[in-house]
Amino acid sequence: MPATTLLIKLVTLVGVVLAGGFFGVVLLKIATGEISLAYLLYTKDAAGRWTYSPNRLQLLIFTVGVAANYLYSVMTNPKVDSLPDLPMSVIAALGVSHVSYLGGKAFSAFIGPLLKNLK
């Protein structure tokens, strides 16, 4: 039994180091400018100009908020044998957030140009 406990701790440590390494590499690349965040909240319109996208902002805020809340619940209960469940209301709200973003993308990509051509 102690060998499996040691193995579990070792695998957990390796997983944390690996995930932390990935996180560190991404942060380093953002800090050095290899990964640009310049137009993270912008999208190109039909004319090819960069315009501010409130849909991207709400999607980013909501996704980061849900992820942070989930990470907090995982960290507060480290001895639980399974991952915590997300409430259905959070899953539904996250789905609505993503659907509104994708709906805006679909409108600007497909319906907007059709309406422009009808004029």
68 and 108 in a single domain? The answer is yes
Same domain, 25 and 44: no
The percent of residues above 90 in pLDDT, for the chain, comes to 23
Output the average pLDDT for the chain.
Answer: 86
Cα-Cα-Cα-Cα dihedral of 51, 57, 98, 102, to 10°? 0
In this structure, the answer to whether residues 29 and 51 fall within a common structural domain is no
DSSP class of residue 82 equals: S
Whether 19 shows a pLDDT value over 90: the answer reads yes
For residue 110, CA distances in Å to 84, 103, 106, 115 come to 39, 10, 6, 9
Q: Which residues span the domain enclosing 25?
A: 1-37
pLDDT value of position 78: 75
Which pLDDT score is estimated for 36?
92
Answer yes or no: do 48 and 66 share one domain. yes
pTM for this prediction: 0.65
90's tokens: 């959070």
Place of tokens 């805020």: 61
Question: Is the same domain home to 58 and 28?
Answer: no
Same domain for 44 and 66, yes or no, is yes
Best-predicted range by mean pLDDT (24-28, 45-49, 63-67, 94-98): 24-28
- Integer Cα distance of 91 and 109 in angstroms: 27
Backbone angles phi, psi at 52, to 5 degrees: -65, 140
Query: What pLDDT shows up at residue 32?
Result: 95
The residue written with tokens 């600007």 in the block is: 108
Q: What's the rounded Cα separation, in Å, for the pair 12 and 18?
A: 10
Q: What is the mean pLDDT of residues 64-84?
A: 85
- How many domains are there within the chain? 2
